[in-house]
Structure 1
């Protein structure tokens, strides 16, 4: 499934001339990226954190454990920077 996602997103983003479908970063307007990840591929935003004042790093996951890491920029563009399988999230323990 993950390979299909990479190929599909690469095609929708205009395709890549590199030998690997993830060799180039896939970028789209943030709203469009969010819709594809949630509606088309069934992923939900799992976690996020800021990377300076202009960037937000997000991890999207689905029920099978596939994951996608996205960086969203203040300019309104989001880019897939990594993806994989077998995501296991750890919940922070309550110190109280």
Structure 2
């Protein structure tokens, strides 16, 4: 049996080493509300050229956050993925990786 200390240490190390990209829990709302929330809460704006059919990448240079949003035909939008440590120069690579 491992001591509790080592279990906690292992868990802490795993949390530090996890990738910054996280698949979000499906959060959906009317598209206008989603966009207002991304702007107001995170300071995110659409990343020019980082869109695909019905999908838009939002990001903030100031906060370092990013959100990939999927727009649905019924006027709602859903968060597909989100993360931190935004690096704008890699937007095209990030969008390509998330689209797979």
Tell me if both proteins adopt one fold, taking TM over 0.5 as the criterion: yes
The match for 1:50 among 49, 52, 63 is 52
8 Å Cα contact 2:42/2:65 also seen in 1: no
- 1: CA distance, partners of 2:30 / 2:64: 25
Q: 1:14 maps to what in 2?
A: none
8 Å Cα contact 2:47/2:57 also seen in 1: yes
- SS of 2:88's partner is coil
TM-score (norm 1): 0.59
After TM superposition, the runs of 4+ consecutive aligned structure 1 residues lying more than 4 A away are none
Unaligned runs of 5+ in 2: 1-23, 93-100
- 2: CA distance, partners of 1:31 / 1:44: 13
Superposed CA RMSD: 2.0
- 2: CA distance, partners of 1:81 / 1:50: 13
Q: 2:42 maps to what in 1?
A: 41
Unaligned runs of 5+ in 1: 1-21
TM-score (norm 2): 0.57
Aligned residues: 66
Larger RCO (CA under 8 A, 6+ residues apart): 2
Question: Looking at CA atoms only, which structure, 1 or 2, has the larger radius of gyration?
Answer: 2
Higher helix share: 2
